[in-house]
Chain A
């Protein structure tokens, strides 16, 4: 399955939930990351229930530093 993660084309063998993608991509500080799918910020409660679809655009955004965005 093709995705765009932080602007880079990525291939995944399976369809994953957001929580699974955070592990798959070894996302740093996963408790702190905000996840945007196709321009919409997900609620944290949706990380477990949202499954990625073909061609989704995923952005990992951090909300903790000064000038720290993706």
Chain B
């Protein structure tokens, strides 16, 4: 089946007892067995079965199966948030004294996890420029246990050469983790370019309506866990082969950290996936039109959208995302006051800390999602005082354009 069909039918083929075609919401904590022996067998691994929703839940299993098929992976674990997905993966791989390599222009929450939280456990993170592949190679040491990148850095909008970075990781015998939140499997399946683990914040484009927080971890099957430097996972690979890393998470890290999704939220993500393909097309189409409009608008100093023909990442966008630049862009209004005034003046677009919603969203990253970082740190991460980030929605483009035009004009009038 093709991706558009898998998004609707993957992971679930009608409820056998009731005929329900929507995935049932199994809103339960635990699962009853008739006899003591049956439950003992499930705990022993002698019989399949659900035990407790913190470990697995049938609604969530359907979501995991659908995401596995869409990413062409070997298995998936859905989580309570994108951050829970990243935390589970990273804590499943690193120990005190280890190092992580990541890019400067990625999501501030991920940088905070790496630099603030993991530093407390003596894990060091080295930040490099996502656009400069050689910096990744130069940062690898014997202590490096993983490389983490985003398909398009948010908000820096830089596009890493995923295949080349995968080669660097694999030469060092470590996995490459790729966050595919902003591009989704409809623009890229990172496994085809060598990624070993794929991360999603499903709260964004997959949910698509800003109604639930969630995340996902997908193993692409590319990495040989039996030959890696992770002794505990290597042992598990003797028993469960390629599924060793996901088993390590399911049976230890994910189970112990407790980042499981609510069954209702898994249902909302399944619903979102059914329309993701059509929405992504419209997000990308509108974002490109808005980027071109802003690029030609005399008052706008700069626009950063990798889908523009003049972008330094245009060739990578063609190679990795079949030419689609995604639904996010940033642009500069000259200073913080104008950026604030623009945000205060939009009528259709919403000012909020989210992306991937059907609605057009705007935010001033410097004073909000990156407020905990100093100005020099922000600048390194691609965040400036004058910058506005836009998650371009799927409304009629003319309505988005006229909203932006009137808000830009107001932002500049207020300066007089």
* B75 close to A (CB within 8 Å): yes
Q: Known: A28-B48, A40-B242. Is A67-B251 also a contact (CB below 8 A)?
A: yes
A44 contacts B69, CB within 8 Å? Answer: yes
Q: Mark B239-266, 1 if CB is under 8 A from A, else 0.
A: 1111100110011000100000000000
B242 contacts A65, CB within 8 Å? Answer: no
For the complex, would chain A's binding face be called helix, strand, loop or mixed by DSSP majority? Answer: loop
Stretch at the interface among B50-58, B91-99, B120-128, B329-337: B50-58
Q: Tell me which residues across on chain B come within 8 A of A64, comparing CB atoms.
A: 48-50, 55-56, 61
B55 contacts A65, CB within 8 Å? Answer: yes
**B-contacting residues, A1-47, CB 8 Å:** 28-29, 31-34, 36, 39-41, 43-45
B48 contacts A39, CB within 8 Å? Answer: no
B75 contacts A68, CB within 8 Å? Answer: no
Quick one: closest A residue to B55, CB to CB? A66
Q: Mark B10-53, 1 if CB is under 8 A from A, else 0.
A: 00110000000000000000000000000000111101111110
A59 contacts B45, CB within 8 Å? Answer: no
A68 contacts B42, CB within 8 Å? Answer: yes
Alpha-carbon distance A8/B128, docked complex (angstroms): 50
Q: Tell me which residues across on chain B come within 8 A of A31, comparing CB atoms.
A: 12-13, 65
B221's partner among A28, A32, A33, A41 (CB-CB below 8 A) is: A41
B55 contacts A41, CB within 8 Å? Answer: no
B243's partner among A28, A61, A65, A67 (CB-CB below 8 A) is: A61
Alpha-carbon distance A61/B51, docked complex (angstroms): 16
Q: Tell me which residues across on chain A come within 8 A of B45, comparing CB atoms.
A: 65, 67-70
Query: Nearest-CB distance from A69 to chain B (Å)?
Result: 5
Quick one: closest A residue to B60, CB to CB? A64
Q: Tell me which residues across on chain A come within 8 A of B246, comparing CB atoms.
A: 63
* B72 close to A (CB within 8 Å): yes
B55 contacts A39, CB within 8 Å? Answer: no
Q: Known: A29-B48, A31-B13, A62-B48. Is A67-B43 also a contact (CB below 8 A)?
A: yes
A69 contacts B52, CB within 8 Å? Answer: no
A36 contacts B241, CB within 8 Å? Answer: yes
Quick one: closest B residue to A62, CB to CB? B48
Q: Tell me which residues across on chain B come within 8 A of A28, comparing CB atoms.
A: 47-48
Q: Tell me which residues across on chain B come within 8 A of A62, comparing CB atoms.
A: 48
Alpha-carbon distance A5/B362, docked complex (angstroms): 55
Query: Nearest-CB distance from B308 to chain A (Å)?
Result: 36
Q: Tell me which residues across on chain B come within 8 A of A29, comparing CB atoms.
A: 48-49
Query: Nearest-CB distance from B414 to chain A (Å)?
Result: 56
**B-contacting residues, A44-59, CB 8 Å:** 44-45, 59
Q: Tell me which residues across on chain B come within 8 A of A70, comparing CB atoms.
A: 45, 239-240
Q: Tell me which residues across on chain A come within 8 A of B69, comparing CB atoms.
A: 43-45
B49 contacts A69, CB within 8 Å? Answer: no
A39 contacts B242, CB within 8 Å? Answer: yes
B51 contacts A34, CB within 8 Å? Answer: no
* B369 close to A (CB within 8 Å): no
* B188 close to A (CB within 8 Å): no
B241's partner among A33, A43, A59, A63 (CB-CB below 8 A) is: A59
**A-contacting residues, B209-233, CB 8 Å:** 221
Q: Tell me which residues across on chain A come within 8 A of B49, comparing CB atoms.
A: 29, 64-65, 68
B75 contacts A34, CB within 8 Å? Answer: yes
* B137 close to A (CB within 8 Å): no
Q: Tell me which residues across on chain A come within 8 A of B51, comparing CB atoms.
A: 65-66, 68
Q: Tell me which residues across on chain A come within 8 A of B43, comparing CB atoms.
A: 65-67
Alpha-carbon distance A43/B70, docked complex (angstroms): 11
Extra inter-chain contacts (18) besides given A66-B255, A70-B45, CB under 8 Å: A29-B48, A36-B240, A39-B242, A40-B221, A40-B242, A41-B243, A43-B69, A43-B72, A59-B240, A64-B48, A65-B51, A65-B56, A66-B43, A66-B56, A67-B44, A68-B42, A69-B239, A69-B251
Binding site for A on B (CB under 8 A): 1, 12-13, 42-45, 47-52, 55-56, 61, 64-65, 68-69, 72, 74-75, 221, 239-243, 246-247, 250-251, 255
List 17 interface pairs A-B (beta carbons < 8 Å), by A numbering. Answer: A29-B49, A34-B74, A34-B75, A36-B241, A36-B242, A36-B243, A39-B241, A39-B242, A45-B1, A64-B55, A65-B45, A65-B50, A65-B55, A68-B42, A68-B49, A69-B239, A69-B240
A-B pairs with lowest CB-CB distance, top 6:
A62-B48, A41-B74, A64-B56, A66-B55, A41-B242, A68-B45
